[in-house]
Amino acid sequence: MSATIQSIEAILVDIPTIRPHKLSMTTMGVQTMVIVRVTDSDGIEGLGEATTIGGLAYGPESPESVKLTIDHYVAPLLINQPADNINTLKVRLGRVIRGNTLAKSAIETALLDLQGKRLQRPVAELLGGAVHTHMPVLWTLASGDTGKDIDEAMNLIEARRHCDFKLKIGSRPLMDDVRHVAAIKEAVGDSASVRVDVNQAWDEATAAKGMAELQAAGIDLVEQPTPMKHFDSLVRLSDKFHLPILADEAVADATDGFNLAAAGFGGAYALKIAKSGGPARVLELAAVASAAGIGLYGGTMLEGTIGTAASLHAWSTLETLHWGTEMFGPLLMKDDIVVTPLTYRDNGVELPDGPGLGIAIDEDKLEHYRRK
């Protein structure tokens, strides 16, 4: 007889960041994670994580709403259900709960981790097997201060921790942002790739001017310059410039990916387990993108180690990550709640080994940072 799900716990965890992290819609000084623990009738525990950016500043789910959804809606649906058929459990959730992809991602991750531990196999193997065990990771320069950002970039290049950088722009006047970005690109030269993330802050006219300036400055990629629902703007801008566009908020799942590609978009998609509803779900979007000739990028919601590890297990199964990954979330936080942190080296990160996610909770740290 298969084991059944006995308990589902959702825990709010608040960890300060190493510095203020400035985006177009907010500035973060603390990251809040929802850590999910699913335990089966044999006592095996699976870990998951749901994390967003800046409370409700980024999207419709907040950490507090994710916890409420899991406690009051997800748990009653899954308690006493067989733990081993993850597809059946996902269908059960999907029929009763619309949207709420962050909560669903945390649950799918925890179920995969549990299954991997039961079978003594890594999550990547459950998803088809790892093609890569070391993946490139960029760093986001988001202090907002040009001099500080240049110093930070130079130190990271010298330490071989990162050689690709992303700049968060869109909160200041256009030309102020352009000058900031151009100065950083000039400072690092050909030793590093520089990309920008506008986080939907521009209208199409502003984006056209901004992309012309950024293209001239040697920037490699522009992420989500216009609002998420303005598909036509992304298509027109991708036609107009040879500077590639990375669609992020516009592309949550495989249906979005198909519709944007069918409309004529040429660029890349930011894959995020949180947007799609879990590690297995995000690979559906990756398959659509690959079929359409769209580039792939392993994106983050600034998750901690658990969510980052889950993402890495998914990204490891992809043959080509055209634009690498941005799985630096744990490095942005002052502390961690796991026994063994991820290994960042040679401008990238190692896929954790061991069964499931390959991650274990540090109970003392979890208790220290959990919201009382």
Could you list the active site residues? Answer: 168, 326
Contacts of 178 (CB under 8 A, 6+ apart): 210, 213, 214, 217
**Other Cβ atoms within 10 Å of 364 Cβ, number:** 9
Is the separation of the CB atoms in 112 and 126 below 8 Å?
Answer: yes
Q: How far apart are CA 139 and CA 147, in angstroms?
A: 16
Is the separation of the CB atoms in 247 and 274 below 8 Å?
Answer: no
Q: How far apart are CA 215 and CA 257, in angstroms?
A: 25
* The amino acid at 64: E
Query: HSE on the CB side for 70, CA within 13 Å?
Result: 29
Does residue 49 come out as left (phi exceeding 0), alpha (psi in the -120 to 50 range) or beta?
A: beta
Q: What is the dihedral of CA 358, 90, 337, 3, to 10 degrees?
A: -60
Q: Beta strands 27-40 and 5-22: pairing type? A: antiparallel
Q: Which two tokens stand for residue 33?
A: 């994670």
Q: Beta strands 27-40 and 45-51: pairing type? A: antiparallel
Is the separation of the CB atoms in 223 and 196 below 8 Å?
Answer: yes
Q: Beta strands 193-197 and 164-168: pairing type? A: parallel
